[in-house]
Amino acid sequence: MNSANRDRTPGSLTTEKVQALLDSGLNPGVRCRRSLANAMTDAGEKISVHGVEGWFKHVDSNYALERSSLHPEHRSYPVPKRRWTAILNLFDLDPELLEYDDVDFRNFCFKQKKKTPAVARESEKSAPPLVFVLYAQRDGDKLYDEFLWLRRQGINLWWDTSSREGSEWSDAVATVIERARVCLLYGSRALLESERCMRELQLVRDMGLSLVAVKMDRAALPGALADVKQELPVFNRSRKGYTDELLQALSRVMYRRVGDLPGGVTPVNGAVAEPGPVELDFNRSGIAVLPFANLAGTKEFTYISQGITEDLITLLARMPELQVSSRMASNAFAGMLVDYRQLRSSLGVKYVVEGSVRSVADKVRVNVSLTDLTTGSQMWAQRFDGLFEDLYEAQDEITAAIRDQLKLQVTGTPLDYGARTTSMETWRYCHLGWYKTFVEPHMPGLQEALDCFYNALEHEPDYAPAHAGIVMALGTGMIWGGVGPDKFATALSHAQRAYELLPENPTVLWSMGMMEFISPNPIENTLKWVDQAVALEPSNAAYLAAQAYLLAQTGRHEEGLELCTRVRQLSAGDLRQPFINYMVSNVHICAGHFEEGARTMLLSDKLQSIDFVWFMSGFCWFSLNKRAEAIAAVRRMLDSAHRSLHFFEYSIHQRLWPQHAAGHKQAYLDFCAEQGLD
């Protein structure tokens, strides 16, 4: 038999097997090709996401040579053998498993996953069963109103709004499918032609979800449906009374067994009612802004919806009487129907702002509402139609309406502090840059952040938040590694320009604090700038975390610990955010809470490529006389692109933890030198 006509996948690590590893969720932190590249790099096997993507292409772009598939019927390309060990180690698998062919290997991965199911979060135990919507993005405009109607009827619907029609995979999609009980599929010609949709359907099948199928046109439904638990007839969307039948069907499948219901919870009109209110005790009114839904389904509107959400959080955080939940904490509820009591319990807030964004002709339509979570009653709702440049006016009206409804007092200072632009590109790049600075993995996140800020300045050279963003990205790189001291002058010039443009903007003041911090000046100078930023934006969790850190480093760790409590309230569910973790951890180290310091420092896997993180963790274990753990931490630091012993000597003696004796610090430095730090 010709070798090209037989299955040659047994004995090799193929792209199909790699995809099975990603789809199965055997390693929850590695669910897409980008996270695979990051994890391999962190483990010492350096590779870019483009390198991983190259394995899946039928042409080797380096040499313009066509790749040969190892399977006669589908594309399954060999992964370079030198990469096999690193990949298998990430998923804790034995190389002998590669003797399986692609299909058997995929089945094995999902069987393994089912043996070790993910533990549901407390907030999910009382939530209605999750329904994942599988649809083609090209059909989105026809379906969004139906999605919203189903959600209003109590169906906990989640649909992907990222406007991705290619094969690119999303961590969020994989996670939702893993947690969902039901898949609602809208069959159409567009769905059959979408590689992404076919991959989602494959994962639905592998995870054993029940399926409710709706036919949108005359195209045949996917053949893969034969293997899915489809216990109901296919619904025809053109049939009269179809939506009521669909609602009843979804309710039946969601609550198929009495044992499926959370304890003490009964379905009410397809929704869930929990017993008893949650008692809250806040000094100030807590409020959350849930991510605005992108009903347009386009990439452009994804940026707009994210930007409006973040801008409203920022504007509301500038009202001293409000305690505003962070964006990252609110993101946990994106695209889900959440019981109001659950929202109060999870985020610790009394009010919630919800909304959506869509296109109407050549305009942007924003729908928004304010709800009192203690009663479930809607206090205010409004619709805004306008061009992009009108969005700021809409945000001002929304903020003013919330202020009036909650009877809040604000100063006469404009809440935007002058940070406005009429360019959507400037606005989009700046939002993306700040996200990559503090949320994305340290590297290449900082370089990507800098690219975004410089792109923003190309569209608007005098946009102060972009200048401030460059300062924060460069300063963070100098502290955490990846940016050398030769960039200090660049950071200083952008800080000075930002301050010239907007001297009373909290973001600019924060960036001025960063310049002081990376200068050989007293930490008290940095604290003065951050204090000013906090005074203008008292519910900004990142500013408060920085303030707590600086107080601790000036010997006032008790005040820092008090602030950390408030930071946790504001960023509930957001303790994995790298920047906040780093700051809070250092406060605990100053206070001598070494176990808490080490635990908090390592909450975020996105910090673990930073040498400073392991240096500080090692100090915690060394201070607790846990030698084995200290050695392991220092060796992790040595395995990274670490800096010199001289750098850490300056840091630990001149900038860090004044509460601890110089002799103890030197003993730790000597210990690091014994392990090989020079």
First to last CA, the chain: 60
**What pLDDT does residue 275 have?**
29
Q: How far apart (Å, rounded) are the C-alpha atoms in residues 553 and 595? A: 19
Token digits of residue 56: 């899946």
Ordered alpha helix ranges (H), 359-416: 391-405
Give how far Cα 87 sits from Cα of 35, 98, 212, 220, 607, Å. Answer: 12, 12, 36, 38, 20
DSSP 98-119: GGS-HHHHHHHHHHHHHHSPPP
By DSSP bridging, strand 235-236 and strand 210-215 are parallel
Return the CA Rg of the chain.
Answer: 26
Cis status of the peptide bond prior to 444, with omega within 30 of 0: yes
Q: How far apart (Å, rounded) are the C-alpha atoms in residues 399 and 260? A: 41
Pick from 317, 345, 292: which is nearest to 542 by CA?
317
Q: How far apart (Å, rounded) are the C-alpha atoms in residues 365 and 358? A: 5
Q: How far apart (Å, rounded) are the C-alpha atoms in residues 429 and 312? A: 18
Pick from 37, 79, 39, 32: which is nearest to 57 by CA?
79
- Beta bridge partners, 353, equal 289, 370
Positions in the chain short of pLDDT 50 = 1-2, 61-64, 117-126, 163, 167, 257-284, 409-415, 573-576
Token digits of residue 671: 């210990």
Residues contacting 91, CB < 8 A, separation 6+: 21, 26, 27, 30
